[in-house]
Chain A
């Protein structure tokens, strides 16, 4: 069996492990035992068995939202290479498609939140879109910097040609700036702690949790599953850049990619344990800093030889 065919089912199956690892790290820092890393699977199964409640004012947009965002995440997954393995689908320019398939998934979630007609969810949707608008240039410019350095326009080409030697070459250190920007974006897009607290249910501070408040049962399960997939997607981008292991043996590369993903989950858990949530006005500054990193990297890379 060819390993690149394995990536998609592997990601679909293993993605809920990442939130499990994050929770485990947070429990470790808090001195608790914590749930097992497989707890997200149990939660998902439990949610899928439940029934759903729909508000009378909600239309099909609300019902389609969770499924659409899950489909978008899965579609982006098909474009994602992991650990030097090519993606299922790749063509020049798929970096733009990748960014906007993710954005489409968010649009579906936001539309579903607005469809409930609750002012509260509208507030959450507005905040989510505000952060997304700031994170999008950071992501696109960061990918553009990598494309300029690597001379490729597809994710597979970019990550396939990435080696430790590329980071050491002239212009390579600028890619570390891209990696920093990607890590910040990973935290922002997945509503993790300096941007949003996934555990909180205090209405004034919630962002992502507000939008999914009205979803119940299987719909909520789909949303949580899609969130795990998004963590996998963006984490793989950052990990692939920071841990460019290319042994030439597909299985070893895949293992290295998975280790990188686990490292990103550990990093997220540590950040969530040692940092407090930022004030809302400071969030835009942090995202602006991520965008500044990307712009700097774009200016400082040397271009393909």
Chain B
């Protein structure tokens, strides 16, 4: 049992590294979707002996949204904008990978200082969640394209979801579904915004949005 949980957690960590190291936007979207699906599977695997309809509904809703709806929305935005790659990020891809390894070290150090309340098998989930949150924030600040920043936001949300799973064993269903709905609305609105930015300015480079006035 703990073998599969641990493998899942390692896969989540590898997904983070792939997002940091890949320049292809479709690959990044797929990786974030895979990460969402893995995290959706995690609570089911962790509580396999005490499955409830509530847990299954929650896992199914989160998996469908993160693994199917979000990639579809983002891929559509990409198609409309005709984008393929993240070019010239503020921090290069190899440097991002190195930063990712540093983040993992920081997350493990930080998690060792936090009190651990959940089941033993999930003890590696706290550093992984912290790592995912760091990576999400890092992607938001270190990339130029608006699409990649949305991806960073999704990775960030995955991290918070994992963090909640590690600490609060029984989150209220309403809170969980409310968060999912919020994220869904966020990505939906961001997709529309991306489309409008692209239509107005012919690019999705947020760095150039600081110089908007006519001159």
Report which A residues bind B (CB closer than 8 A): 167-168, 170-174, 176-177, 284-285, 288-289, 292, 295-296, 299-300
Contact = CB atoms under 8 A, between A and B. Distances in A.
Interface stretch (B34-42, B53-61, B94-102, B198-206): B94-102
Contacts of B17: 289, 292, 296
Contacts of A288: 94, 97-98
A296 B101 contact: yes
B118 to A, nearest CB: 15
B108 interface: yes
A179 to B, nearest CB: 12
B124 to A, nearest CB: 7
A295 B93 CA distance: 17
Contact of A285 (B21, B101, B104): B21
Interface residues of B, number: 19
Nearest to A302: B124
B7 interface: yes
A172 B7 CA distance: 9
B97 A289 contact: yes
Contacts, number: 45
User: Which 10 residue pairs across A and B have the least CB separation, nearest first?
Assistant: A173-B7, A173-B6, A168-B3, A295-B101, A173-B10, A299-B108, A292-B101, A288-B94, A292-B97, A170-B2
Interface in B1-38: 2-3, 6-7, 10, 13-14, 17, 21
Contacts of A171: 6
B130 to A, nearest CB: 13
B178 interface: no
Contacts of B119: none
A285 B17 CA distance: 12
Given A173-B10, A285-B21, 8 more contacts: A167-B3, A285-B97, A288-B98, A289-B97, A292-B100, A295-B104, A296-B17, A299-B104
Contact of A177 (B10, B100, B101, B108): B10
Contacts of A284: 94
Contacts of A300: 10, 13, 124
Nearest to A172: B3
B183 to A, nearest CB: 27
Given A285-B21, A292-B101, A295-B101, A170 B6 contact: yes
Contacts of B100: 292
Nearest to B17: A292
Contacts of B2: 170
A97 to B, nearest CB: 27
A175 to B, nearest CB: 10
Contacts of A289: 17, 21, 97
A176 to B, nearest CB: 8
A173 B94 contact: no
A176 B14 CA distance: 12
A131 to B, nearest CB: 15
17 contacts: A167-B3, A168-B3, A170-B6, A173-B7, A174-B10, A176-B7, A176-B10, A177-B10, A285-B93, A285-B97, A288-B98, A289-B17, A292-B100, A295-B101, A296-B14, A296-B17, A300-B124
A296 B97 contact: no
A216 B87 CA distance: 47
Interface in B92-128: 93-94, 97-98, 100-101, 104-105, 108, 124
A184 B173 CA distance: 44
Nearest to B18: A289
A32 to B, nearest CB: 34
A296 B11 CA distance: 11
Contacts of B10: 173-174, 176-177, 296, 300
Contacts of B124: 300
B44 to A, nearest CB: 18
Residue among B7, B10, B94 with the most chain A CB within 10 A?
B10
Nearest to B11: A173
Nearest to A168: B3
Nearest to A171: B6
Contacts of B7: 173, 176
A177 B100 CA distance: 16
Contacts of A170: 2, 6
A174 B7 CA distance: 8
A28 to B, nearest CB: 31
B141 to A, nearest CB: 21
Contacts of A295: 101, 104
Interface centre among A288, A289, A292 (most CB of B within 10 A): A292
Contacts of A173: 3, 6-7, 10
